[in-house]
Structure 1
Amino acid sequence: MAKLLLVTSLNKSPSLLLLSRTPSAPKLCPRRRCSSRADPEYLCRSIVPTMHYQKSLPRLPVPKLEDSMRRYLNAQKPLLDEEQYKKTELLSRSFEKGIGKELHEELLAQDQRNKHTSYISGPWFDMYLCAREPVVLNFNPYMSFNPDPKPEYNDQLTRATNMIVSAMRFMKTICAGYLEPEVFHLNPAKSDTLAFKRFIRWVPSSLSWYGAYMMNAYPLDMSQYFRLFNSTRLPKPNRDELVTDDKAKHLLVLRNGNFYIFDVLDRDGNIVKAAEIQAHLKYILSDNTPTPEFPIGYLTSEERNTWAVLRQKLLDNGNSEVLKKVDSAVFCLCLDDFPIKDNNHLSHVMLHGSGLNRWYDKSFSIIMANDGTSAINFEHSWGDGVAILRLQNEVYKDSTENPAISPKDMPASVDSSKAVTRLQFQLNNVLKEGITKAKDHFDASVKTLTIDSMEFKLGGKGILKKYKISPDAIAQLSFQVGFLRQYGQTVATYESCSTAAFKHGRTETIRPASVYTKKLSEALVREPSKYSPDELCMMIKECSMYHGKLTKEAAMGQGFDRHLFALRCIAASAGRSLPDFFEDQSYARINHIILSTSTLSSPAIKLGGFAPVVHDGYGVGYQVQDDWIGCNVSAYEVRDVGQFLECVHKSLEDIFTVLEGKPVKG
């Protein structure tokens, strides 16, 4: 499983790197255009309907089996010694010519029977929903907002009000079909124009993708957007369920472990006046109700089967209507009563928090500290980074450029005690015991997590582009060199790439560890004096070129991970024993992701992160800016985050030294 990663780099193309144990193409990246509007109920009114391209999106291709096996073996080479590789190669060839061929034919037939979707969509949903691990740390990532550029607007009450209004504008804009479709423009001068939009809106939906393609524009799948609002993940025995109730009009607010709801849409579907929302939030922030002795939010951090049993007991104990209000809320706002101390504190608060003031099952939550520092934490099964990043970008842009209220505005004179309902849960001794155990499990889990960050300020995209080297490749290379420097090994590495250029595409894996990165890593760490700067520079360029090739293949649905995953699912579903290929220790090793990575770059985002996907791994969120490179890394006790960051920083120093034509010091 891959922890999706998080997000998409806004200078790349269609790639959302999220988030993945799955947490956001060539790595394509859509531009943001919803900036002006005539109606305060909406962000904008796009000339082209939101879902105009959806019907004509191309289908995700099933790679050729021989191509997947070749790519798989290439990815195994840097991880195995000669004897291990020979065994794995033999098993792979046998699989390709035997049972693998049969499974591949079954997959092709299955794909032909389900032309309305992609071959990976069903298995990927099953992977998430059947997983029994807690969603917190194992799946939910976070992305923090940059502060409002106007300091006075970062007041918690002001910023929360503005973000709620902007989120509701986003929701209404989607529902009305006014949101600009997600499109990557290879030639914006021709396709990202008013003339093109006026033309393409009259092209039938069944042909619209082809019209965009002729102009070098690539629409992206937007099928996940309908799960953004009014949605939640329900715990069920063995397989969870996603539910959406688009008729609900209320917001869920958590503070001090207490649950509140109030309507943010009126009976006509209009957004409640901002001053009234402000008044309701002020009422909640001034409520002196103590923290519950048994905070029910902890239950959403439990193992999923345990939580499923306890949820049924909640229902049996008279909490049906209360839970329905929680599940159907447009989204969840978590108001914390303390400020953020530093970046490490921010990561811990937004990734997991204390557990008492969270409901991790909602499609997304906006978490806000009392100094206005805020972030989105999202449940991962319903979708990847495409939708959540668009939401975050639009909410940040609208709330900072078109705020609904100012710090000087007074709340409306309304009776919030009637408009706001504090939800009351009926708990018996079994439920109280379940909450206590969930808290103990949660505390023990988060206590072992370390998070730290680093900024390399001696270069970034500006210098790298001058040398015609991929910034993402260099960041990934620094992780390879850094890990080898720390542990003397090259290990399985995961970088998520979106396949949103295809109908119901999810993600594909880029495998950054290669024979090229291993060769360069060993040269820099073990024998830098053996090579001239020109020789090392050539190795760096080889790494960059190969990484670009892997990225392009992944974006086009031509990686090997999702293909082999689908074949394994078919083998398992047939009730037969798994082929030897899938039982190979090398197959297990390459899927035991030690370095799980995701790039984050957006004007809305300050920091993002996720926990490691294995107990002995690192979770690496990173960004490459014009003149600096940053990392936000997590690990459990078995790994030393601080030392890893020092090794990555030293690796970047060496790489930039080589690019400058200078010798590397050992």
Structure 2
Amino acid sequence: MAEAHQAVAFQFTVTPDGIDLQLCHEALRQIYLSGLHSWKKRFIRFKNGMLTGVYPGSPGGFMVVVVSYMSYNKYNQLDPSLGLIAKLGQHLPISQYMSTDSQKIVGGVLVGTGLWVTIIMIMRNVLKCLLSWHGWMHARHGSVSLSTRLWMLFVKVFSGRKPMLYSFQNSLPRLPVPSIKDTCSRYLESVRPLMDDEQYERMKGLTKDFEKNLGPRLQWYLKLKSWWASNYVSDWWEEYIYLRGRGPIMVNSNYYAMDFLYVFPTSIQAARAGNAIHAIMLYRRKLDRAQIKPIYLLANKVPLCSAQWERMFNTTRIPGLETDTLQHMNESKHIAVYHKGRFYKVWMFYDGRLLLPREIEQQMERILADPSEPMPGEEMLAALTAGDRTPWAKARETYFSRGKNKQSLDAIEKAAFFVTLDDTEQRYDTNNPVKSLDSYAKSLLHGKCYDRWFDKTFNLIVFKNGTMGLNAEHSWADAPIIGHLWEHVLSMDPVKLGYNEDGHCRGQTHPNLPGPQRLQWDIPSECTEVIQSSLTVARTLADDVDCHIIPFSDFGKGLIKRCRTSPDAFIQIALQLAHYRDKGKFCLTYEASMTRLFREGRTETVRSCTIETCAFVRSMIRDETREERLKLLKVAAEKHQNMYRLAMTGEGIDRHLFCLYVVSKYLGEDSPFLKEVLSEPWRLSTSQTPLQQVELFDLVKHPEYVSSGGGFGPVADDGYGVSYIIVGENLINFHISSKHSSPETDSHRFGANIRQAMLDLLDLFQIDKKDMK
């Protein structure tokens, strides 16, 4: 049975001779080591803050500037400060106790410091101007123009040396506000293939009226915000799209990430948890020390914003009556664990150090061996996080604001992250690939609806047979951020950390390691009713989700590149062809693109159902020649690439329209145009999960070490959600979701259409797939 460990620093008894203190030296030692660990972390954060604050300058640069300035002043008998040194020396409070030479030295240091700060500001602003140029994105793949080469050289010169994760934050440009005219014209172009002539003329009239009348007034407020705030979109996007949503975040917002498909490092649940948890904590340590390298584009020259990493750990979404909030702790030394209806608090540090994998496995074994039953109301408690937000907010305030319930809830919400030791088995089964993968996806997406704490930034889920995965909350960051962590874990687990021959983590157990602490609850019957109500809502939603996964191995990006086509454009066009064959019509399509070229950037929408793509799809339906189809395909692919570039460089339309709508609500202005635009359903929502750390996986020697990516629920009740990951040169994994309740959708049918569409597109290029084997 898992036991609570209570460290008592001292005991005392009263005797006739006085008070007898009985000090516990081990407890005092642990207190000392804990304090030492905290102070080390504070010092590291202070040091990293200093280094990031002066970047692209450095302390070494400060010494060079000051010493050079002082040497130049001394040996040339010149005063480049035009008398400023003497004036500073005269006005120093202690100048009467200093010699003339000492005053000159102090004054020289001050002027040198000012010169150093000036150089930093110049470099930072020059770098910001350089990073505002995006001409490099329009070059043909594989070729670099002379202007781009010169630009890359200047970026390298002004970027400084050895940047840390947050070094570029002050040098990134702000997200620009597109013009009303451009946004309106691009919007009309995006909806043209989805409307008949009468509908389009009506929408054209609404658009022109908005562009002429209300639009410029709303635009003025957005311009003002863009000058004042770091990013004119991100805070409103987080609040209104995520935190103000009152429906369940399970399925509707949270997403999942899968384990390896073909590699099973161990079948021991506790051992897999031990290595994974240790790898995650190592990642957190690197994050705390800002040792994670910045993410770049274009040959490691163009940095992306790193702001989303700040709340990865020690963060929880707190429910509210009208809006949720994100609670972030600067430090957390424990994790929360769920198993068979019981919650545990597990400390991650002992003897002033992080627990080793075998020691974490030891803690998980204690939890798995605990024979105790859940307390009344405890087993399904997490269903509150899976249902509607307002009932959860009311229950939290009423039943969890005091006593042992508050203490236990704090242990979960203030944990570094949440772990579920799942009592089911999930795994890719070659004998039954379709059913096994579909079950695996649904388990990661929603589980039993009460065995994941959906409010935590992420849940590590370890199944009974050793397979694992993640479930992530969406408001704090986008999928590539969690993907970066998950790549680190998967690369560490089977190779760098590894397992013994018997499947256990390497190393030894700890004889004196205090056990996990079982969390205590006192849940009244009224709260149990709320839990059951939330569980009913969540189960209805979960049972309706139709998940399907396709490991598409017929070909991959290697063959697509031989077609001289963008892999992403190729896949997006295939999705349009598949959707038309599936439903017999086109629909408004959402493809997520990032805007992290700008400070605090998040995402933008690429409306990938274009006039050009629709023309190509119709040619595939009609009896057209291969040459004509191929010509239309290349035009559609180039159009898609151009739209992706516009989205990445701040010229997308949907975030601009969203912010205009928010301003109109603040002003109390009713806009028929904006109201209609924001209510249009995305019946096909797509997203690519990028493989960001290719160097961590040698897919040539070990093609089996591939991530199968992750997925999300459908956005529209009658639509599809499609996530895909391009892995290596020969594999693309598709994750498809829809709802059983819709007569228009079927995830398996759509999956078959995607596979056929991919093959049909490749056939147009007449490239022999055998050449790639």
Equivalent of 2:213 in 93, 98, 101: 98
Aligned to 1:504: 600
Measure the CA separation in 2 of the matches of 1:355 and 1:583. 34
CA gap 1:307/1:233 in 2 versus in 1, 3 angstroms: same
Q: Do the aligned partners of 1:275 and 1:405 also contact (CA within 8 Å) in 2?
A: no
Q: Supply the AA of the counterpart residue of 2:381.
A: I
Q: Say whether 1:142 aligns with 2:266.
A: no
Q: Structure 2: 5+ residue runs without aligned partners?
A: 1-135, 140-160, 428-435, 692-696, 698-705, 769-773
Instruction: Work out which of the two has the higher radius of gyration on C-alpha atoms and give 1 or 2.
Output: 2
Identity of aligned residues (%): 28
Aligned to 2:306: 222
Where 1:356 maps in the other structure, the secondary structure is coil
Aligned to 1:547: 640
Aligned to 1:532: 625
Equivalent of 1:297 in 361, 382, 387: 382
Measure the CA separation in 1 of the matches of 2:346 and 2:477. 27
CA gap 1:415/1:455 in 2 versus in 1, 3 angstroms: same
CA gap 1:583/1:458 in 2 versus in 1, 3 angstroms: same
Q: Do the aligned partners of 1:276 and 1:414 also contact (CA within 8 Å) in 2?
A: no
Q: Do the aligned partners of 1:140 and 1:379 also contact (CA within 8 Å) in 2?
A: yes
Q: Do the aligned partners of 1:533 and 1:661 also contact (CA within 8 Å) in 2?
A: no
Q: Say whether 1:414 aligns with 2:511.
A: yes
CA gap 1:281/1:65 in 2 versus in 1, 3 angstroms: same
Equivalent of 1:187 in 299, 310, 319: 299
Q: Do the aligned partners of 1:274 and 1:405 also contact (CA within 8 Å) in 2?
A: no
Cα offset, 1:411, TM superposition: 5.0
Q: Do the aligned partners of 2:248 and 2:538 also contact (CA within 8 Å) in 1?
A: no
Aligned to 1:238: 322
Equivalent of 2:364 in 276, 281, 294: 281
Aligned to 2:73: none
Aligned to 1:213: none
CA gap 1:227/1:545 in 2 versus in 1, 3 angstroms: same
Aligned to 1:113: 228
CA gap 1:661/1:374 in 2 versus in 1, 3 angstroms: closer
Aligned to 1:311: 396
Measure the CA separation in 2 of the matches of 1:303 and 1:108. 36
Cα offset, 1:284, TM superposition: 0.7
Q: Supply the AA of the counterpart residue of 2:250.
A: V
Measure the CA separation in 1 of the matches of 2:454 and 2:166. 29
Deviates more, 1:247-256 or 1:546-555: 247-256
Measure the CA separation in 1 of the matches of 2:655 and 2:712. 21
Cα offset, 1:414, TM superposition: 3.3
Q: Do the aligned partners of 1:227 and 1:244 also contact (CA within 8 Å) in 2?
A: yes
Equivalent of 1:325 in 393, 405, 411: 411
- Map of 1:253-402 to 2, 5 A cutoff? 253-266=337-350, 268=352, 270-291=353-374, 294=377, 295-316=380-401, 318=403, 319-341=405-427, 342-402=436-496
Q: Supply the AA of the counterpart residue of 2:659.
A: A
Alignment TM-score, normalising by the size of structure 1: 0.83
How far does the alpha carbon of each residue in 1:224-279 deviate from its partner, in whole angstroms, 9 at most, with x for none?
A: 212111100000110101001123200111111211111113474x3123332221
Q: Do the aligned partners of 1:364 and 1:379 also contact (CA within 8 Å) in 2?
A: yes
How far does the alpha carbon of each residue in 1:520-542 deviate from its partner, in whole angstroms, 9 at most, with x for none?
A: 112212x1x2x211110001101
Cα offset, 1:613, TM superposition: 0.9
Deviates more, 1:431-440 or 1:624-633: 624-633
Aligned to 1:133: 247
Cα offset, 1:175, TM superposition: 0.9
Aligned to 2:708: 606
Aligned to 2:652: 559
Aligned to 2:749: 643
Measure the CA separation in 2 of the matches of 1:292 and 1:442. 22
How far does the alpha carbon of each residue in 1:143-170 deviate from its partner, in whole angstroms, 9 at most, with x for none?
A: 1121695x44453222211111111111
How far does the alpha carbon of each residue in 1:45-77 deviate from its partner, in whole angstroms, 9 at most, with x for none?
A: x94322111121111111122111121111111
CA gap 1:89/1:267 in 2 versus in 1, 3 angstroms: farther
Where 1:419 maps in the other structure, the secondary structure is coil
How far does the alpha carbon of each residue in 1:279-336 deviate from its partner, in whole angstroms, 9 at most, with x for none?
A: 1111011112235553201110111111100111222463111111111101111111
Where 2:250 maps in the other structure, the secondary structure is helix
Cα offset, 1:454, TM superposition: 2.7
Q: Supply the AA of the counterpart residue of 1:280.
A: Q
Q: Supply the AA of the counterpart residue of 1:78.
A: P
Q: Supply the AA of the counterpart residue of 1:298.
A: A
Measure the CA separation in 2 of the matches of 1:291 and 1:654. 55
Q: Supply the AA of the counterpart residue of 2:288.
A: C
Measure the CA separation in 2 of the matches of 1:598 and 1:519. 23
Cα offset, 1:415, TM superposition: 5.4
Alignment TM-score, normalising by the size of structure 2: 0.72
Aligned to 1:617: 719
Measure the CA separation in 2 of the matches of 1:221 and 1:606. 26
Q: Do the aligned partners of 1:27 and 1:555 also contact (CA within 8 Å) in 2?
A: no
How far does the alpha carbon of each residue in 1:161-192 deviate from its partner, in whole angstroms, 9 at most, with x for none?
A: 111111111111111122212222x235xxxx
Aligned to 2:675: 583
Where 1:50 maps in the other structure, the secondary structure is coil
Aligned to 1:632: 735
Measure the CA separation in 2 of the matches of 1:291 and 1:605. 35
Where 1:519 maps in the other structure, the secondary structure is helix
How far does the alpha carbon of each residue in 1:61-108 deviate from its partner, in whole angstroms, 9 at most, with x for none?
A: 111221111211111111111111111111111111110111011110
How far does the alpha carbon of each residue in 1:511-570 deviate from its partner, in whole angstroms, 9 at most, with x for none?
A: 110111111112212x1x2x2111100011011101100111111111000000000000
Q: Say whether 1:489 aligns with 2:585.
A: yes
Q: Do the aligned partners of 1:534 and 1:661 also contact (CA within 8 Å) in 2?
A: no
Q: Do the aligned partners of 1:274 and 1:404 also contact (CA within 8 Å) in 2?
A: no
Measure the CA separation in 1 of the matches of 2:678 and 2:357. 53
Equivalent of 2:546 in 438, 446, 450: 450
Measure the CA separation in 2 of the matches of 1:362 and 1:310. 18
CA gap 1:316/1:168 in 2 versus in 1, 3 angstroms: closer
Aligned to 2:290: 177
Q: Do the aligned partners of 2:257 and 2:469 also contact (CA within 8 Å) in 1?
A: yes
Where 2:349 maps in the other structure, the secondary structure is coil
Q: Say whether 1:164 aligns with 2:277.
A: yes
Q: Supply the AA of the counterpart residue of 2:420.
A: C
How far does the alpha carbon of each residue in 1:366-422 deviate from its partner, in whole angstroms, 9 at most, with x for none?
A: 111122211111111111123212111112222233217643546524356x43111
Aligned to 1:72: 187
Measure the CA separation in 1 of the matches of 2:277 and 2:485. 12
Q: Supply the AA of the counterpart residue of 2:277.
A: I
Aligned to 1:248: 332
- Aligned-residue Cα RMSD (Å) equals 2.2
